[in-house]
Amino acid sequence: MSNLSSEPQPLLELVEALRRLPGVGVRTARRMAYHLLQHDLKSAEQLGLALTHAVERLQHCQKCNGFTEVAICAMCAHPERDHSLLCIVETPADQNTIEATHGYQGLYYVLMGRLAPLEGTGPDELDFRRVLERAGDGVVQEVILATNFTAEGETTAHYLSEALRARGVKVTRLARGVPAGSEIEYVDAGTVAWALMERRPT
């Protein structure tokens, strides 16, 4: 006799979708699904609508690769930002953390990942050609590599540093005020601000 699940297919699909979130296993995903459907249908509907709108409306900024509703995001278009400084980060969350320091007034490029050869993520997957073109636009005078101090982040920084310097671009790296093995998103703003001030050539 076949072992049929007692859970209806839409519920199984919801659990599977939630399980794709970082750090969420099957049990946690099932608990989230049951909570939303049993106790908070309004929030479940709001979550579904917000996700749909985000997928439909958001695109990648043509200059920084961050999320935006228009071709060029508000930060890249801002006339008072220092367009000669370009800070390269792994994720939008890292960008937000650096912005929270209020100590950086340049622009950004968001990689949306980091080099991870064992996971099949290489320079082509991250479209490094586009990064190099952005940094070599003739306006950028210094690139700050603000990738995380993990093995993958260091590999990414090294690769970009070599490629950028070969094109005559000045490259600096966040100072070690950011602890080794840490992710910028979870470092306090004061530490990140100090690391920005103490950045060094790579």
The first and second tokens of residue 106, run together, are: 């340049």
Q: What is the predicted pLDDT for the residue at 35?
A: 93
Q: Are 157 and 190 in contact (CB under 8 A)?
A: no
State pLDDT tens for residues 166-192: 999 999 998 766 666 778 887 878 778
pLDDT for the residue numbered 1: 42
| Strand-strand pairing, 67-68 and 106-110 | unpaired
Beta-bridge partner residues of 68: 59
Question: What's the confidence (pLDDT) of residue 193?
Answer: 79
Helix (H, G, I), strand (E, B) or coil at 174: coil
Beta strands 82-89 and 106-110 are parallel
pLDDT at 153: 92
User: Which residue shows structure tokens 């470092």?
Assistant: 187
Residues 81, 140 contacting (CB under 8 angstroms): no
Q: Are 97 and 154 in contact (CB under 8 A)?
A: no
Tell me the backbone φ, ψ of residue 77, rounded to 5 degrees: -90, -5
> Following CA atoms 186, 64, 79, 103 in sequence, which dihedral angle do they give, to the nearest 10 degrees?
20
Task: For each of the domains in the chain, give its residue range(s) and CATH number, in order of start.
Answer: 9-57 (1.10.8.420), 80-201 (3.40.1360.10)
Residue 111 near residue 90, CB atoms below 8 Å: yes
Task: Give every residue of the chain whose pLDDT is below 70, as ranges.
Answer: 1-5, 176-180, 198
Sheet architecture: strand order including 82-89: 106-110, 82-89, 142-145, 170-173, 200-201
Write down the pTM of the prediction.
0.79
